[in-house]
A and B are shown apart, each in its own frame.
Chain A
């Protein structure tokens, strides 16, 4: 139920209601006791060790939303920086029932079924173009999905007779990827990207969507992004059809591609 007053004050929803027994819908970090909200943080400030630095550390923790911040460890790093370990308390719980996890809308198929599904729906092999785009020099994830040998005993997309894979490697500019997708009449475009904290890669991912739109190709391809920080929900927000996070096996991607293409052909 959880009533939230949009323009009300934050206090209206804070603290109080959190149960201190397990199986609660409202959860807080577990420090010493269930739902006590105690967390440990560590960080470095560019301030020389001393009273000023410690106060700065406490303020930093406050800005993180931690109540009753305590500095537990102070270690000078060189002349003008200090490393801190601190404890603080979180009071705003996460409401589990309000969370929505975007679940995959496809089922896992085996290699034979995938090949047959693609052949039956397209009447030919599906053309899959894969690339690690932008400045990303990592191809590990991409290769694990595309290369014949795959990983963890799960063969890569190249091992599927109904998938024709074009692996463009790493540091591929979006423009080159889009040009290739057009050249080979791609049915699917797979992008591997390490989305970093600073969001630079994020802009690159949306840029690809915009390029495909401008080229009139967005509707013609199944657009998939994968990487260690990628989730389905994020992929949707970025304008992709699906996103695959860490631990994804080639079979997961192939299952999705086969079913998504089948769905589009049938519609």
Chain B
């Protein structure tokens, strides 16, 4: 990582038009990261758009009862939120669309902040609707959409929703610094799953995901050597049929799973792969539900673009780490497993108060 480069620089330099901020747990500072980014990106002259995949910026946490920071949209930024939580601050918004999606908090309203507004973000329920809102915000003239993931849900990071991902993590995850670093190393490994290195296999895998059925990829023999074929397994999923699917594998070089890849499936695939070259290919990293390194080659058809990791050294339970130690330990853990990923603590990060969007009255 270049010295002196801040998280906002990493994001703006990447040139992506949407970034998901997803957390490894609750209270890991997603909202803080989002507020920091939106204010910095706006200062750089970019028009930011804000949307949540759950609920964000509410004054009291529905679960822990702790006060939470509100989301601040600087002047000119776009937001998408439910009309039910707008009542107080709708006046600062120029409304440009009202979507039919009716949730518990009413329809989703898209608007531009005419003045800086502190507000609560409530997003749609499904990733498909979320993707539609991201596109709508971009159509309305947003340069970069920030998608706040809810709790520990990472669906917002799906390539179908956003171009790039920031992983927020912190003391909530685990108490011990070393275990945090280790656990994070695994999460980063998982979120960084690449395409299959063999181009022909990667392209067939994409085809299989399109089909929506579990497929096997076989290497051709004889004079066709070097080419591959796709063979559908007639299962739409591996859930509950892990053995049945693998029994059909034959001499396949890979199995492509268009839906969820469960830990149970990975465990079985590992023993299957003991005697042969065998890879599991998922559609993307958010579809992989692994709790540990699977011990079998694992690829995706659509890799995520993981930009950075942020840490929150303080958990709401009062456990805290030294920010510098934490950033260093995590950075080192990534290097150990071969990832050069920038790590930031936006709370103790170097920034003077002029950078803050200022006062917002709610």
Contacts and interface: CB of A to CB of B under 8 A. Distances in A.
Interface string A203-242: 1001101110111101100010000000111111111111
Interface string B124-159: 011111000000000000000000001111110010
Contacts of A3: 361-362
B302 interface: no
Interface in A83-129: 98-100, 102, 105
A72 interface: no
Contact of A7 (B25, B62, B102, B359): B359
Nearest to B60: A99
B155 A209 contact: yes
A57 B174 CA distance: 25
A176 B259 CA distance: 14
Contacts of B359: 5-7
Nearest to A213: B155
- Interface residues on chain B, size class: 35 or more
B192 interface: no
A175 B239 contact: yes
A211 B240 contact: no
A199 interface: yes
A263 interface: yes
B63 A176 contact: no
B53 A236 contact: no
A267 B102 CA distance: 10
Interface string B255-269: 000111110100000
A16 to B, nearest CB: 19
A6 B72 contact: yes
Contacts of A178: 237, 239, 260
Contact of B361 (A4, A105, A211, A215): A4
A218 B361 contact: no
B273 to A, nearest CB: 20
Interface string A1-30: 001111100000000000000000000000
B356 A7 contact: yes
Nearest to B103: A236
A258 B259 CA distance: 28
A182 interface: yes
B153 A267 contact: no
B360 interface: yes
Interface string A183-215: 100000000000000010011001101110111
B100 interface: yes
Nearest to B240: A179
B118 interface: yes
Interface in B215-260: 236-237, 239-241, 258-260
Given A3-B361, A175-B262, A213 B126 contact: yes
Given A7-B356, A179-B239, A214 B286 contact: yes
Contacts of B353: 7
Given A102-B104, A202-B26, A219-B128, A210 B154 contact: yes
B70 interface: yes
Given A3-B361, A4-B361, A218-B125, A210 B62 contact: no
B45 interface: no
B237 A215 contact: yes
A206 B153 contact: yes
Given A210-B286, A214-B260, A215-B260, A238 B125 contact: no
B105 interface: yes
B260 A239 contact: no
A209 B150 CA distance: 11
B27 to A, nearest CB: 10
B49 to A, nearest CB: 21
Given A63-B318, A176-B239, A206 B287 contact: no
B235 to A, nearest CB: 10
B105 A102 contact: yes
B104 A242 contact: yes
A181 B347 CA distance: 43
Given A213-B155, A215-B260, A218-B127, A182 B239 contact: yes
Contact of A239 (B53, B69, B100, B361): B53
B237 A179 contact: yes
Nearest to A4: B362
Contact of B151 (A215, A237, A263): A237
B30 to A, nearest CB: 12
Contacts of A183: 240
B122 interface: yes
Nearest to A241: B125
B348 interface: no
B153 A263 contact: no
A239 B52 CA distance: 11
Contact of A234 (B63, B286, B362): B63
Contacts of B262: 175, 211
Given A105-B102, A235-B104, 13 more contacts: A5-B359, A7-B359, A98-B59, A99-B60, A100-B84, A105-B104, A175-B240, A203-B25, A206-B153, A209-B153, A210-B286, A215-B237, A237-B150
16 contacts: A6-B362, A100-B58, A175-B239, A178-B260, A179-B237, A199-B26, A202-B151, A210-B289, A211-B260, A213-B126, A215-B237, A232-B104, A235-B104, A237-B150, A241-B125, A263-B102
What 10 A-B pairs are tightest by C-beta distance, nearest first?
Answer: A179-B240, A214-B260, A214-B287, A179-B239, A215-B259, A233-B62, A237-B55, A234-B62, A218-B126, A213-B155
